[in-house]
Amino acid sequence: MNEILKLLEEDSRYTAKEIAAMTGKDEEYVRDTVKRCEDEHIINGYTALIDWDRTSEEAVTAFIEVKITPQRDDGYDRIARRIYQYDEVESLYLMSGSFDFSVIVTGKSLREVSRFVSEKLAPIEGVISTATHFIMKRYKDKHRAFLVEPEQEERTLFI
């Protein structure tokens, strides 16, 4: 199963047929495994890695450190839920160290993201403080570097 997952993580467009050929399993097994992983939320979706900086789309991303007071009974999960339900939130992680949540937020402009932080995130009950860091340039995401390196010159080789 993990072999199939690793391939999908590498390129989610691989077809069951291709994965079957690459892993030496049969196609039906691959299809069943993928279906089961989807059902069990091991696979949670398929998406594209887009460098929006190369488009005309205006977009900013911020990484926000959030300190909170954990709630009785629910611990961190309840506040987490109240944060991640917002569409603006791209990712949310509980962290070890000097703050609790790392929230990744995307918006159209600095103002939009700032407004989200001041009007939605900060007022949530239990949130003690926030520190917002705007991402200035995205070099690498999900193991893919976004800078395109120049090609080595054309070669004629006899090997």
Where does this chain bind another protein (CB under 8 A)? 7, 11, 14, 18, 21-24, 154-159
Strand order in the sheet with 127-134: 89-94, 101-107, 60-68, 127-134
Length of the chain: 159
Q: Which is nearer to another protein, 14 or 63 (CB)?
A: 14
CB of 136 to another protein, least distance (A): 23
- Rounded to 10 degrees, the C-alpha dihedral 134/136/137/141 comes to -10
Nearer to another protein, 8 or 104 (CB): 8
Q: How far is the CB of 40 from another protein (least distance, A)?
A: 24
Q: CA distances (Å), 133 to each of 26, 66, 139, in order?
A: 47, 11, 16
Query: Could you tell me the smallest distance in angstroms from the CB atom of residue 28 to another protein?
Result: 15
Cβ nearer to another protein, comparing 87 with 149: 149
Of 11 and 39, the one with the shorter C-beta distance to another protein is 11
What long-range pairs does 106-114 form, CB within 8 A, spacing at least 24? 106/59, 106/60, 106/61, 106/62, 107/59, 107/60, 107/62, 108/58, 108/59, 108/60, 109/58, 109/60, 110/60, 110/134, 112/60, 113/60, 113/62, 113/88
Q: Nearest approach, Cβ of 77 to another protein (angstroms)?
A: 36
Closer residue to another protein, CB minimum distance, 15 or 91: 15
Compute the least distance from the CB of residue 159 to another protein, in Å. 5
